[in-house]
Structure 1
């Protein structure tokens, strides 16, 4: 039986294929898309168009960064200058007025006890005005303390201690009107509370506000080094880019890069000149304004303390003694007069001694309008000291009534001389306050518009750089 013929199909390699190699094996592993894109970008960057695109992006970023940093640093300094004018200096002045009101109230309260049971009405009104002013300043300080917990604690302490002090004064006054010696004890206790609690707290508040003023000044005057450095680098990069373009194309100007250079140069010049002017004006406002105000306020405080000690020495009839057996209030008077004028009790001199508060205030005063009130204060302090010496001589001789008249009378007394000193110092303070405000306003005005202008010009500069590089790229299409 015949078998059908079997046919076999030979399996061999297909045309165009290598034997034993599958299509999948010949293709190799596929790269991730991001790596392929990165490879293409690297290859593109090695070409001139790629280099130009990179250069344009770097220049634009540098100019935008320059504008942003300039705007930020200028805004920071303008904010500090605003704080100097509108917040820290007024608060420092208010803290000094608070201290003055409390010290004067204490002096005036003691003054009311000197004539015995008859308290002059002007003395009573002055005391009430001082207490009212202190209460108003405390309320204002509480509304402007910000986030400082220490300042809030000091203001709270003053608010709680002031009613205690006024209550003690009222008790002293009531006993004094009845001729009871207990009134003097109440007065001494009230004065101790003022000198040990209220005045040190008020002084600490004043010192804190003065420190804040100094900090704001330092922030406002500090040079914007980061912005200046970025501006120099941006101009350098633009100069290098234009030189590169010239060497490769032999074209002197690229309008876009030239516009970017001009915009950056304007910002850098504006920043340097504007901040330089602001710094100079703020420095002037500090040296002939804020610093002078601090010295004058300290001088006024010393005169108030000297007057208070003088008055309390008479009110207590020199019964409060130091550990060495000396009159405590007379010692305090001498200490404050040395600080104020450079002299002590019983010493005569023709002028304020170098280094004294009045000597420093006169050296810091700007012009005759500033020096004349200080000179008036110097002359009145000398007169005050001479009258004080006469009062002490009368008291030491047993003439208490004569000594009292030399301290309390409306004319030819130490009280009259003190009032003249206080008036002269107030005039000097008003003048220096005006000088401070004028110079400080000029300082912060020098920064007006700089932050916005820098940002706008930087964006225009970045746009010019991109357009300038784009003009070169168009030559390759």
Structure 2
């Protein structure tokens, strides 16, 4: 009785048809078409996910890092400019006043842009928004204290220096740490996105190889059944699959290479140079605050030396500090020259700063202030201006490099989509036409 069931199934017309050569060809054609469609769908989804990450790098993470840097740098520069302005005899120069106001305006604008960008951020904790709102709340407090200090300073009252110290303490203890955390958070997120943005989709490769193997297997089946060495349709489909795999591999590899180059020579160097610029700006504020304190600025001078040690290392050590570390890295010739120039300017500035400190420590305060504010070629003010300009130019260069590499990666991922869709259409059409001709021979 049990043996009768398989026998009855085998007598069903559809089953009998499926067991014949044309029936098997129809089934195999369906398998090949399905496998091709699965390869295309999975491939497009995988490439689309990576393209979305690259798009986020270009439209969210990258701009947010730039806005975070603008906040960080503008606040640091405002602190340094406010301190330098107080070295003037009661009234700061119009240029210094305008620079301070521009810094505050730039920081406020960057805060607004960054807050808008965080709406599109994938950060689940929304830590960036929390930091931005904290800075936005404290910034008016800082500017208010600076204006009070400025009022007393114009009247040449000592309370001005006390209020300036209070403002600088608020900046260094509250605003700058928040800005630094924000910048670090965004640059780390950007670096992570760059590392994962174009990793090769292994599953798509396996599906493509499976499709190619299936095409070769069906071709071998037809050779045995029909005694024909080659099926043109299946041969074309196999070639199209190989082209698709090579195209996908090349496009994804190029996208990954562009993102890696953008990270190493663009965003990574950009972040380090941005940190170097902030260190220099904080040291510049210390330089002025030490002179403003009139012999009571030991803490500010100590902070200056710590900033310079972080920037270029302790005296006597050439390849040390943030800039020295980059001198030891495998940079190309242009980047090595760029970082080397910045390192030289920072060291020259520290040497001139020490010369001013020696004069001030001898009790010649007025002369020390004159030297600090001088526009001579070797004065601390001139050397710092050159250092800041060189850092700004380097940051712009690396930022543009990162943007260009990200755009190239996006183009490669678009190419990867084409490398999946066009060949797979050829695979499906050639497979159907190739097996249809053989199926027709049995009718």
TM-score of the superposed pair, with normalisation by structure 1: 0.84
Q: Which residue among 423, 433, 437 is the counterpart of 1:467?
A: 433
Q: Aligned partners of 1:60 and 1:181: how far apart in 2?
A: 85
Partner of 1:287: 264
Q: Aligned partners of 2:432 and 2:53: how far apart in 1?
A: 36
**CA displacement at 1:152 relative to structure 2:** 1.6
Q: Aligned partners of 1:281 and 1:62: how far apart in 2?
A: 31
Larger Rg: 1
Q: Confirm whether residue 259 of structure 1 aligns to residue 236 of structure 2.
A: yes
**1:238-387 correspondence runs (5 A):** 238-319=215-296, 327-343=298-314, 347=315, 352-354=318-320, 356-360=322-326, 363=329, 365-368=331-334, 370-387=335-352
Q: Confirm whether residue 195 of structure 1 aligns to residue 161 of structure 2.
A: no
Partner of 1:237: 214
Q: Aligned partners of 1:291 and 1:358: how far apart in 2?
A: 15
**CA displacement at 1:54 relative to structure 2:** 1.9
Q: Which residue among 26, 30, 53 is the counterpart of 1:53?
A: 26
Task: Note if contact 1:318-1:329 (Cα within 8 Å) is conserved in structure 2.
Answer: no
**CA displacement at 1:61 relative to structure 2:** 0.6
Q: Aligned partners of 2:367 and 2:328: how far apart in 1?
A: 35
Distance 1:453 1:375, change over 3 A: closer
Q: Confirm whether residue 394 of structure 1 aligns to residue 359 of structure 2.
A: yes
Q: Which residue among 66, 74, 89 is the counterpart of 2:47?
A: 74
Partner of 1:9: none
Q: Aligned partners of 2:321 and 2:34: how far apart in 1?
A: 56
Partner of 2:424: 458
Listed one character per residue, the Cα deviations across residues 416-469 of structure 1 (whole Å, up to 9, x for unaligned) are: 211111111122223323333333333332233331441243233123223322
Task: Note if contact 1:298-1:357 (Cα within 8 Å) is conserved in structure 2.
Answer: no
Q: Secondary structure at the match of 1:119?
A: coil
Q: Aligned partners of 2:25 and 2:56: how far apart in 1?
A: 46
CA RMSD of aligned residues (A): 2.4
- Number of aligned residue pairs: give it: 432
Listed one character per residue, the Cα deviations across residues 221-242 of structure 1 (whole Å, up to 9, x for unaligned) are: 3111111111111101111110
Q: Which residue among 181, 186, 197 is the counterpart of 2:158?
A: 181
Greater displacement, 301-310 / 358-367: 358-367
Q: Confirm whether residue 125 of structure 1 aligns to residue 98 of structure 2.
A: yes
Q: Aligned partners of 1:88 and 1:310: how far apart in 2?
A: 35
Query: Where is the helix percentage greater, Structure 1 or Structure 2?
Result: 2
**CA displacement at 1:298 relative to structure 2:** 1.4
Q: Which runs of 5+ in 1 are unaligned?
A: 1-30, 321-326
Q: Secondary structure at the match of 1:217?
A: helix
Q: Aligned partners of 1:438 and 1:154: how far apart in 2?
A: 29
Q: Aligned partners of 1:37 and 1:245: how far apart in 2?
A: 24
Q: Confirm whether residue 410 of structure 1 aligns to residue 410 of structure 2.
A: no
Listed one character per residue, the Cα deviations across residues 38-75 of structure 1 (whole Å, up to 9, x for unaligned) are: 96554543333332222111111111111111112222
**CA displacement at 1:274 relative to structure 2:** 1.2
Q: Which runs of 5+ in 2 are unaligned?
A: none
Task: Note if contact 1:362-1:374 (Cα within 8 Å) is conserved in structure 2.
Answer: no
**CA displacement at 1:348 relative to structure 2:** 5.2
Partner of 2:36: 63
Task: Note if contact 1:305-1:336 (Cα within 8 Å) is conserved in structure 2.
Answer: yes
Task: Note if contact 1:365-1:432 (Cα within 8 Å) is conserved in structure 2.
Answer: no
Task: Note if contact 1:380-1:420 (Cα within 8 Å) is conserved in structure 2.
Answer: yes
Task: Note if contact 2:327-2:340 (Cα within 8 Å) is conserved in structure 1.
Answer: no
Greater displacement, 81-90 / 48-57: 81-90
